[in-house]
Structure 1
Amino acid sequence: MAALRLDFSAPKEVTFAELEEQPLGEGEVRLSTLYSGISAGTQLTAYRGINPFVRKKFEAETRLFLDRTEEAPSLYPVRGCWGYEEVGVVSELGPNVSGIKEGDVVYGTWGHKGMHVVTDSFARDHLLPEGLDPVAGIYSQMGAIALNAILDADIHIGETVVVFGQGVPGQLVAQLARLNGADVVAVDLDDYRLGFSERLGAAHTINSRGVDAAAQVKALTGGRGADVAIEISGAAGALHEAIRSVAYNGRVVTAGFYQGGAKDLYLGEEFHHNRIQLIGSQISGINLGLTNRWDRLRMERTVMQLALSGKLKLAELVTHRIAFEQAAEAYRMLDANTEPSLQVVLQF
């Protein structure tokens, strides 16, 4: 059976395309995908048709979003559904491959598809540590996104860090903040997700539905507020609460992917009067003060080694393993939130 790729042909329309298997070139390695994780954030914005790339295109030279034109009329089809949580097994070696053998497990980012070709140098750099559950390999980019937010947050031992959003990236951020020596307060609207937060080491959890989350954080810290807040839900209202929750001259790291406007964000209130530092965190760049020591590959390897040591729980976040052929049902479930879930994985 030919390998398949999962695409969004239009908003909320999932289709499959057959991949053509080309002969391997010098130093190339073919991977057969084992697992591909669904991002319930970025990917769902493309599935729902609310991603900024739907209406605009990003001009690399100026780094501006510009209205689409006849030359770039549509985002769709989204090939591979922007999947970035993949792990696969080496199934074929091209000529003169070095340092890789069939059966090795390699993690990376190649979209929701049954096979992928990489160079042997890429495979060597992205070998899954021996003894680690292969499903943990899907977290190479999501883990790096979380660790990047932690590097931007500049957390010190003994500080209080409040994390807004306890989906998969928020769970990772909360665990990493705790490993940095922080007391972690996890905030979310969902008791199911907060249950994971509590089991994975958060000192306090707050369900912010119908309560003043920032006031509760202030109460937990003797009125001072958190030293750092990390907002990773992508909700403007949560960003406003994150700003309200930190101490005077506190730091707020924004790592969420915000859609549309921000009517629930009031910058003339606590942000202005409490001199809040607002730091954008995004995986395409690293804190300038750390670029001589940290890069994307080091972040990915750090995440995998922490998982191997048992300090960072990755496989424990997987709540659903769904056959690749049933991906449309998986997206419908996530879109409509018909059942509690955290990490949904497509299994090949």
Structure 2
Amino acid sequence: MTHRVRGVIARSKGAPVETTTILVPDPGPGEALVKVQACGVCHTDLHYREGGINDEFPFLLGHEAAGIVESVGPDVTSVAPGDFVILNWRAVCGDCRACRRGRPWYCFATHNAAQPMTLEDGTPLSPALGIGAFAEKTLVAAGQCTKVDPAASPAAAGLLGCGVMAGLGAALNTGNVGRGDSVAVIGCGGVGSAAVAGARLAGASRIIAVDLDDRKLEWARGLGATHTVNGRTEDVVKAVQELTGGNGADVVIEAVGRPETYRQAFYARDLAGTVVLVGVPTPPRHHPQPPRHLGRGGRRRRLEHPRPQGRRPGHAGRGG
């Protein structure tokens, strides 16, 4: 059975998004059909429309979602119809070398639903981050569904699948923030605020929130920031260094995606510190640092933002 539902798509780079009818197949092996209850509007959806992730148009937008499992494919046991779930970017394999080491966030064989959702003329859609939740229903790999308390608000729970996960993961997993570390977070939107909360959960002793908006800086304080820096009125690198005894932060998390903030992140960290780049830059992508700077002083650079996946045979790629 094919489900005819309404969805929001981007047909080409920079074109206005539109609401249209899309066709969603019944779930096959390892897949789940989810009735979307709420979906956040994430800046990454704009990146898709602008061609900043890949060029596999048309895109079915939306990915920060929560909903009810309507049906599942053969052999699916992790979720069942009626479960309230949030949707993850990709399902992890559980068997690759990263998963076997207990680091599923580095999974080398993540996957999405195998069947494509399409326009009425049969054109395959590329769901944003493998989800495509600006629609009444979406098809995902069952492993992309994480069950949560059904009493939770769908609008709040959906944030866990993207912004909260990206920010917490940047601090706890990729940045490996430890007790007593100093941390600077550049950009305190949804992702950056979650990174601040993650640093606090990890026991960081000094958490420096950086933004241009005093409201966001105040929110960051409520989530655990010990110091704030307004980049509109202060020199960010100098301020972070002064707040860390002249050394720079042990971990700097960049959650903006601009050349200027990339530079700030590199120069605001300790010589043996870690820089985590979460912000997705808009093309043309330009790395602001000369190559000779990347290896000096034991510094490390880690990328947290989603990477495009290639097309799969027969239809548009479904990854982010």
Please, what TM-score do these two structures have when normalized by structure 1? Answer: 0.64
Distance 1:26 1:192, change over 3 A: same
Q: Tell me what 2:52 maps to.
A: 51
1:36 aligned residue (26, 36, 39): 39
Work out the percentage of aligned pairs sharing the same amino acid.
26
Given that residues 78 and 143 in structure 2 are in contact (C-alpha distance below 8 angstroms), is that contact kept between their aligned partners in structure 1?
Answer: no
Q: Report deviation, 1:152.
A: 1.7
Give runs of aligned pairs for residues 49-88 of structure 1, distance below 5 A: 49=50, 51=52, 53-54=54-55, 75-78=56-59, 80-81=60-61, 83-88=62-67
Instruction: Spell out, residue by residue over 1:225-258, the C-alpha distance to the aligned partner (whole angstroms, 9 max, x if none).
Output: 2111111210111111111211222221122212
Q: Tell me what 1:209 maps to.
A: 232
Q: Tell me what 2:108 maps to.
A: none
Q: Tell me what 1:291 maps to.
A: none
CA distance in 2, matches of 1:232, 1:28: 32
1:136 aligned residue (134, 156, 159): 156
Q: Tell me what 1:169 maps to.
A: 191
Moved more, 140-149 or 257-266: 257-266
Q: Report deviation, 1:211.
A: 2.0
Give runs of aligned pairs for residues 276-315 of structure 1, distance below 5 A: 276-283=299-306
Q: Tell me what 1:14 maps to.
A: 17
2:181 aligned residue (159, 172, 186): 159
Give runs of aligned pairs for residues 319-330 of structure 1, distance below 5 A: none
Q: Report deviation, 1:92.
A: 5.6
CA distance in 2, matches of 1:265, 1:28: 41
Distance 1:224 1:95, change over 3 A: closer
Distance 1:30 1:198, change over 3 A: same
1:106 aligns with 2:85: yes
| Runs of at least 5 residues in structure 1 that lack an aligned partner in the other structure | 55-74, 286-348
CA distance in 2, matches of 1:46, 1:95: 32
1:241 aligns with 2:264: yes
AA aligned to 2:167 is A
SS of match in other structure, 2:54: helix
Distance 1:212 1:141, change over 3 A: same
Distance 1:237 1:118, change over 3 A: closer
CA distance in 1, matches of 2:38, 2:179: 36
1:147 aligns with 2:149: no
Given that residues 128 and 134 in structure 1 are in contact (C-alpha distance below 8 angstroms), is that contact kept between their aligned partners in structure 2?
Answer: no
Given that residues 24 and 139 in structure 2 are in contact (C-alpha distance below 8 angstroms), is that contact kept between their aligned partners in structure 1?
Answer: no
Instruction: Spell out, residue by residue over 1:87-127, the C-alpha distance to the aligned partner (whole angstroms, 9 max, x if none).
Output: 112346789986766543122152111112457x548x521
CA distance in 2, matches of 1:101, 1:270: 51
CA distance in 1, matches of 2:79, 2:189: 35
AA aligned to 1:205 is T
Instruction: Spell out, residue by residue over 1:137-186, the C-alpha distance to the aligned partner (whole angstroms, 9 max, x if none).
Output: 32213333223322121211111100111111111111111100112111
Instruction: Spell out, residue by residue over 1:47-66, the C-alpha distance to the aligned partner (whole angstroms, 9 max, x if none).
Output: 3x251634xxxxxxxxxxxx
Please, what TM-score do these two structures have when normalized by structure 2? Answer: 0.69
CA distance in 1, matches of 2:293, 2:25: 58
CA RMSD of aligned residues (A): 3.3
2:274 aligned residue (246, 251, 267): 251
Given that residues 148 and 282 in structure 1 are in contact (C-alpha distance below 8 angstroms), is that contact kept between their aligned partners in structure 2?
Answer: no
Instruction: Spell out, residue by residue over 1:253-299, the C-alpha distance to the aligned partner (whole angstroms, 9 max, x if none).
Output: 122212335779343897676553222224569xxxxxxxxxxxxxx
1:127 aligns with 2:147: yes
- Number of corresponding residues: 259
CA distance in 2, matches of 1:37, 1:185: 27
AA aligned to 1:39 is C
CA distance in 1, matches of 2:302, 2:79: 40
Moved more, 92-101 or 249-258: 92-101
